Amino acid sequence: MKLFVISILCAFFLVSSQNPTSHWTLQPNVLVLEVDGNPGQQPISCLEMPENVVTSDNQDVIWKKNGAEEAQRGNWYLVRLVESLGGGNYTCHSPDGALLNYTEVLIQHNETKRRRILVKNQQEDYLKCSTQNYNGEFRCSWTWHSNRVGKAALIKAQRMSEGQNSHCSVEPSRHQWMCSSAQSNFSCSVDDSGSGISCLDWQHCPYAEERRQVQVTVFVRTDQFLLESYSKRFYLSEIVKPDKVRISKVNKTLVEWSYPSSWNTPYSYFPLTFQVSQFSRQCRKCENPCTELKHSKLKVKQKIKVVCVRAKDALCDSEWSEWTHVRLVPLSGDI
């Protein structure tokens, strides 16, 4: 018996020298192993036991990986790691087949510069975030690699603050996430497409100075149990993009427009700058802006057939809204 216990201890010392670079818990029963490509092993347990107790009991525990029975038996199971392989759903069962416990193992490469699941957008970033106003709502989206389509494993949103970390939980549907800390309280929902999230900072006040950046971290995983995380920090003023301007024709020589219905009020506190384009011929899209205005009316030049208007925040270097156009005279074909 003493010889058996010593053998077990030696095996554990050997495993510890071959462990992944680090390991941590993403969610209950979800273990993340950070690897560097070298072969290794990681022990996982079926039934919790004191760390200082090593025993040969429970040798009748049966293990399965992704539903297929494994040869290993007992309370402890050694996950074998080779490069990015080794992830999976590990379940342990009693001799009669009853489920005792389970652990989902995800593999994360510690090569931070090498990304395999998402691809960069035109702005050379993995996450594209935007908001229509300063109410505390925003949306972030991403693009899956053509060969690595997966799903969101964890959504984390918080206001940046030294020494503070938010606690995040997910609803049973795994589409709604709640993250709370002393500085913020966020809720995020995953889009039906699985390629974006919509979030709300419940403690944000649009009339107060925004002193702390928002940090969004998206953990994504593939069906091959590969995990990667992507983060983005921003102030709402850096990602705000107003909705389309509402524009109408008063008569043949006068058009007027109003602020988007989703924009914050009062407008004197949240002013917009407008950009106008006028066209004397048929066009396919609005471009070549010629005028910037603070007011919301425009005396149209003669022979002008189409007027286009867009807007942006007048107090910061925000993104322009999409163009809105109005026809002053009937045109043949689409504009």
Task: Identify which has the larger pLDDT, 8 or 300.
Answer: 300
pTM for this entry: 0.79
Decide which of 238, 268, 291 is a domain's last residue: 238
Distance CA 26, CA 187 (A): 18
Q: How many residues does the chain have?
A: 335
144 and 215 share one domain: yes
- Please check whether residue 14 lies inside any domain of the structure: no
pLDDT category of residue 176 using cuts at 50, 70 and 90: confident
Low-confidence winner among 108-122, 187-201, 294-308 (lowest mean pLDDT): 294-308
Task: Identify which has the larger pLDDT, 308 or 321.
Answer: 321
Q: What's the Cα-to-Cα distance from 128 to each of 141, 153, 236, rounded to whole Å? A: 5, 18, 13
pLDDT for 165 beyond 80: no
Which of 43-52, 181-190, 220-229, 253-262 is predicted most confidently?
Answer: 220-229
Please tell me the predicted confidence (pLDDT) of residue 298.
Answer: 62
233 and 124 share one domain: yes
125 and 55 share one domain: no
- Please check whether residue 299 lies inside any domain of the structure: yes
Per the prediction, the chain carries an average pLDDT of 82
Please tell me the predicted confidence (pLDDT) of residue 19.
Answer: 61
Give pLDDT tens digits for 82-134.
877 889 999 999 999 999 999 999 999 876 556 779 988 888 889 999 999 99
Decide which of 76, 109, 142 is a domain's last residue: 109
Please tell me the predicted confidence (pLDDT) of residue 259.
Answer: 93
Task: Identify which has the larger pLDDT, 305 or 294.
Answer: 305
Please tell me the predicted confidence (pLDDT) of residue 7.
Answer: 38
Please tell me the predicted confidence (pLDDT) of residue 331.
Answer: 47
62 and 144 share one domain: no
112: number of Cβ within 10 Å: 8
186 and 217 share one domain: yes
211 and 159 share one domain: yes
pLDDT for 35 beyond 80: yes
Give pLDDT tens digits for 238-259.
999 999 998 877 677 778 889 9
Decide which of 46, 80, 109 is a domain's last residue: 109
Q: Give the up-direction half-sphere exposure of residue 65: CA atoms within 13 A in the CB hemisphere.
A: 17
- Please check whether residue 334 lies inside any domain of the structure: no
123 and 104 share one domain: no
Please tell me the predicted confidence (pLDDT) of residue 53.
Answer: 45
Domain that holds residue 76: 22-109
What number is the average pLDDT over the span 310-315?
93
pLDDT over 70 for what percent of the chain?
78
Query: Are the C-beta atoms of 318 and 241 separated by less than 8 Å?
Result: yes
Task: Identify which has the larger pLDDT, 187 or 15.
Answer: 187
- Please check whether residue 333 lies inside any domain of the structure: no
60 by Cβ neighbours in 10 Å (0-12 / 13-18 / 19+) ranks as exposed
Which of 3-12, 20-29, 183-192 is predicted most confidently?
Answer: 183-192
Please tell me the predicted confidence (pLDDT) of residue 263.
Answer: 96
213 and 180 share one domain: yes
98 and 169 share one domain: no
133 by Cβ neighbours in 10 Å (0-12 / 13-18 / 19+) ranks as buried
What H or E segment, with its residue span, contains residue 130?
A: strand 128-130
CATH of the domain at 49: 2.60.40.10
126 and 233 share one domain: yes
What number is the average pLDDT over the span 218-227?
92
CATH of the domain at 320: 2.60.40
Low-confidence winner among 173-177, 220-224, 306-310 (lowest mean pLDDT): 173-177
pLDDT category of residue 2 using cuts at 50, 70 and 90: very low
pLDDT for 305 beyond 90: no
pLDDT for 162 beyond 50: yes
Distance CA 305, CA 225 (A): 57
pLDDT category of residue 198 using cuts at 50, 70 and 90: very high
- Please check whether residue 318 lies inside any domain of the structure: yes
104 and 124 share one domain: no
- Please check whether residue 3 lies inside any domain of the structure: no
- Please check whether residue 142 lies inside any domain of the structure: yes
Measured on CA atoms in the order 122, 124, 127, 130, is the torsion positive or negative? negative
Please tell me the predicted confidence (pLDDT) of residue 220.
Answer: 94
228 and 277 share one domain: no
Give how many domains the chain has, as a whole number: 3
- Please check whether residue 15 lies inside any domain of the structure: no
The alpha carbon of 301 is separated from its chain's Cα centroid by a whole number of angstroms, namely 47
